């Protein structure tokens, strides 16, 4: 057995109008995650969900130890505004706020805001952005900066944080550009993993000499037996022709991990009897799902852990039953 996995859930926010009352759902989810021993919740960013900083504030308000992992999109918030927000939340709650640096994998959103940068250019901007955040949160000395994307002259915004409250920086992705970003500014590298043997030969192999911690993002559908798990996973599940075509198109995506998962989904729905691409094919999640009996899923996760994975980001764990089943798997890993 390797080190104990740090488990981070997802603060699911449905694509509903702002008039919808999200608070009871998010508050209950935050308390549930904390009660079940999750260290944090990932908070998404895209154009249709609630602002992630507002959601992070609610998560902090409703819990005692939970750490929000906030998706930070450089085009959406200037670095000095992000630094002020991070410092404000950290000062008010005396807890860390971690950062998930994203660059944008949805072409329609990039087109909507007229972002001219290509894939590698967005990663270069993110590296400059995260470097500035570190400077602004690590010192109150006036900051002068003349970079490719940002320019400041003697900027001072009173955002220095104690070292133990500085954010950890998570860098998602599997491309060469994401690896460069992680090496420059990251603490943890995150990917939607391939089946474990392919993962060992690709992502894990490329990070063998890295100082970064390694994490994977998956869903779990686990039950006492594999038959019960697959019945739950496939209940109401349907992949129509349109979904299959969308998956085929994703094989040409600019996103490296989208291309990888789309190729896997095109080849087969199930790999290694556990690794399922069904929800990815329907567009209901960007991550693979591990399906099976408690022991079976725990054993598969342990193979990832043996390759150096220390962070487990879980998607589609929302209800009390979801947490209970996930807990049954995680308890086997802790034996």
Phi then psi dihedrals of residue 292, to 5 deg: 160, -175
Residue 238: inside a domain: yes
Residue 89: inside a domain: no
User: Rounded to an integer, what distance in angstroms lies between the CA atom of residue 273 and that of residue 233?
Assistant: 13
User: Rounded to an integer, what distance in angstroms lies between the CA atom of residue 229 and that of residue 288?
Assistant: 15
90 in Cβ contact with 60 (< 8 Å): no
Residue 75: inside a domain: no
CA dihedral over 201, 204, 206, 208, signed as positive or negative: negative
User: Rounded to an integer, what distance in angstroms lies between the CA atom of residue 47 and that of residue 50?
Assistant: 8
DSSP 6: E
Residue 120: inside a domain: no
Q: Check residue 41 and give its pLDDT.
A: 98
Residue 247: inside a domain: yes
Residue 218: inside a domain: yes
Residue 24: inside a domain: no
Coil/strand/helix, residue 306: helix
Range of the domain at 250: 214-335
Q: Check residue 292 and give its pLDDT.
A: 97
Residue 84: inside a domain: no
Q: Check residue 231 and give its pLDDT.
A: 96
The total number of structural domains that make up the chain: 1
Give me the residues of the chain with pLDDT under 50, please.
1
The number of angstroms, rounded, from the C-alpha of 253 to the middle of its chain's C-alpha atoms is 19
Q: Check residue 284 and give its pLDDT.
A: 64
Q: Check residue 199 and give its pLDDT.
A: 95
Phi then psi dihedrals of residue 46, to 5 deg: -160, 180
Q: Is the pTM of this model over 0.85?
A: yes
Q: Check residue 334 and give its pLDDT.
A: 78
Q: Check residue 240 and give its pLDDT.
A: 65
């Amino acid at each position: 057995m390797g080190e104990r996995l740090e488990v981070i859930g997802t603060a699911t926010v449905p694509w509903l109008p702002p008039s919808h009352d999200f608070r009871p759902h998010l508050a209950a989810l935050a308390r549930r995650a904390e009660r079940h021993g999750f260290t944090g919740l990932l908070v998404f960013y895209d154009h249709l969900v609630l602002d992630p900083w507002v959601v992070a504030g609610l998560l902090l308000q409703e819990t005692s130890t939970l750490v929000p992992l906030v998706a930070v999109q450089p085009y959406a918030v200037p670095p000095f505004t992000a630094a002020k927000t991070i410092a404000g939340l950290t000062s008010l709650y005396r807890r860390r706020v971690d950062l998930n640096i994203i660059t944008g994998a949805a072409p329609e959103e990039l087109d909507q805001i007229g972002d001219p940068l290509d894939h590698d250019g967005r990663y270069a901007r993110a590296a400059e952005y995260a470097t500035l955040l570190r400077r602004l949160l690590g010192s109150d000395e006036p900051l002068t900066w003349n970079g490719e994307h940002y320019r400041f002259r003697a900027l001072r915004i009173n955002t220095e944080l104690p070292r133990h409250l500085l954010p950890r920086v998570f860098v998602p992705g599997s491309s060469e550009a994401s690896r460069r970003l992680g090496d420059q500014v990251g603490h943890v590298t995150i990917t939607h993993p391939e089946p474990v043997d392919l993962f060992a030969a690709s992502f894990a192999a490329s990070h063998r000499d890295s100082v970064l911690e390694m994490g994977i993002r998956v869903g779990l559908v686990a039950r006492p037996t594999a038959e019960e798990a697959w019945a739950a996973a496939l209940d109401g599940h349907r992949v129509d022709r349109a979904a299959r075509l969308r998956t085929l198109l994703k094989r040409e995506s600019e996103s490296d991990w989208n291309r990888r998962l789309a190729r896997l989904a095109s080849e087969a729905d199930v790999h290694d009897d556990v690794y399922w691409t069904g929800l990815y094919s329907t567009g209901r999640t960007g991550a693979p799902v591990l399906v099976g009996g408690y022991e079976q899923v725990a054993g598969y996760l342990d193979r990832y852990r043996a390759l150096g994975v220390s962070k487990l980001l879980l998607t589609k764990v929302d209800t009390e039953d979801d947490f209970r089943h996930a807990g049954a798997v995680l308890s086997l890993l802790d034996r």
